[in-house]
Amino acid sequence: MLTMKRGVNASKRQSDSAISKAPNALQTLRAIARAGELPAERGGLPPRIAQYLQTATLPSPCLIVDVELVEHNYLDLIRALPEASVFYAVKANPACEIIARLASLGSNFDTASMGEIDLCLTQGVEPHRLSFGNTIKKQRDIATAFSRGVRLYAFDSEAELEKLAESAPGAKVFCRILVDCEGAEWPLSRKFGCEAAMAASLLVRANELGLDAYGISFHVGSQQTDLRQFDKAITQANALFADVAARGVQLRMINVGGGFPSRYNRDVPTIEAYANTIRASLAQHFPGQQPELIVEPGRYIVGDAGVIQSEVVLVSHKGGGDVRRWVYLDVGKFHGLAETMDEAIKYRITTVHDGGPTTPVILAGPTCDSADILYEKTDYRLPTALKAGDKVLILSTGAYTTTYSSIAFNGMPPLASVCI
């Protein structure tokens, strides 16, 4: 526990240093990509985490996040797409050290609940830098957020719009539309968004209700590696802008959501490729005055900055014709690896025996739930020498792990976390 406290204190000192050296990140873009501080390859083991693990005494499993690498990813994004307002998706990883660092760099924040709003406010984030981006909000939460100064809200239905008109009068609102998520490793369902024709009518109605019909948003799917999906969505947005303008309402903003990837078991496009695609699409479809641009990255900012240290609990065989070993870790679907559902997100794993002979394995978590299998269909191979008690590292796990971790399923504690 003392080691974890040192990590937190170190993070605070580094955050204070960042504030003093980079009071305005957009102007100074403080370079932290120094040799030896970044992984040898994107999504690899961050050197600062490797060094920290040499002496750290941590519970198992535990997520370690390099806040310097979080800063590096944020600065890379605003360097690639300086015309965008960045709203960090707090749900990806709400660690106070991450919120504080990004706040010091000038980031805005996309929040999904009063809990996330209060978290940001307690870290000194001004309410005008917050978006209440969940389209499913309790009326009392809208009223509370508005009373605390939040003025930007998402919606995708008439009922939600009416709640906003009553409890957040005059607020800026944007309507989320349904788009194609093809190509995303973690696709988003039809739970959020509405058809474009409905969105146009709702935005006109928002104006009639005294709200500021600010613009539209979409999300092409998390871990989206097909760049064409952004152009398809922006094309749809352009038609919606024209439809609403013909009815007397001028929209001013497009929120392209997230989708920018981490690096898991295969290479992904660079952030510059995403920026160039979005920029070119906006220039093509809005050749005159382009709308304001919002992006809501989460995974890209924190994913590659985190590593879970886990322990092998058991290595066994089941008999029969399947010669694969079962490797049970002390981390599983209920400890933060929920995105292994349907084997969607395929994390890279390193062990103390890397370099030796390997054999096929089935990877599973430690709980008494048959759903707690991480990879059975995907061809994972781990060292033959791997045994109970060995430490393994699961790379690029900084996003959507602590927030997906259960409180105490089977009496096991939630995923521990430390920022360095």
pLDDT in tens, 215-274: 999 988 777 778 889 999 999 999 999 999 999 999 999 999 988 989 998 899 999 999
* Cα–Cα dist 215/226, whole Å: 24
pLDDT of residue 186: 46
CATH architecture type of domain 133-297: Alpha-Beta Barrel (3.20)
The CA radius of gyration of the chain, in Å to the nearest whole number, is 22
Q: Quick check: 335 and 406 in contact, CB under 8 A?
A: yes
pLDDT of residue 28: 43
- Model pTM? 0.90
Length of the chain: 420
C-alpha 336: how far from chain center: 14
What's the per-residue H, E or C state across 276-303? HHHHHHHHHHCCCCCCEEEECCCHHHHH
Per-residue pLDDT of the chain (420 residues), as tens digits, is 223 333 333 333 333 333 333 444 444 444 444 445 899 899 999 999 999 999 999 999 999 999 999 999 999 999 999 999 999 999 999 999 999 999 999 999 999 999 999 999 999 999 999 999 999 999 999 999 999 999 999 999 999 999 999 999 999 999 999 887 565 454 555 678 899 999 999 999 999 999 999 999 998 877 777 888 999 999 999 999 999 999 999 999 999 998 898 999 889 999 999 999 999 999 999 998 899 999 999 999 999 999 999 999 999 999 988 999 999 999 999 999 999 999 999 999 999 999 999 999 999 999 999 999 999 999 999 999 999 999 999 999 999 999 999 999 999 999 999 999
Task: Give the count of beta carbons closer than 10 Å to the beta carbon of residue 31.
Answer: 9
Domain ranges of the chain: 1-67+303-420, 133-297
How does 165-190 read in b/e, with b if 16+ C-beta sit within 10 Å?
A: bebbeebbbbbbbbbbbebbbbbbee
Task: Give the count of beta carbons closer than 10 Å to the beta carbon of residue 293.
Answer: 18
| CATH assignment, 1-67+303-420 | 2.40.37.10
Paired strand residues for 329: 312
β-strands 222-224, 184-186 pairing? antiparallel
**In the structure encoding, which two tokens stand for residue 294, read together?**
């919002």
**In the structure encoding, which two tokens stand for residue 321, read together?**
């014709």
Does the annotation count 120 as an active-site position? no
Task: Give the count of beta carbons closer than 10 Å to the beta carbon of residue 147.
Answer: 11
Phi, psi dihedral angles at 200 (to 5 degrees): -60, -45
* Among candidate residues 222, 182, 215, 221, the one with its CA nearest the CA of residue 282: 215
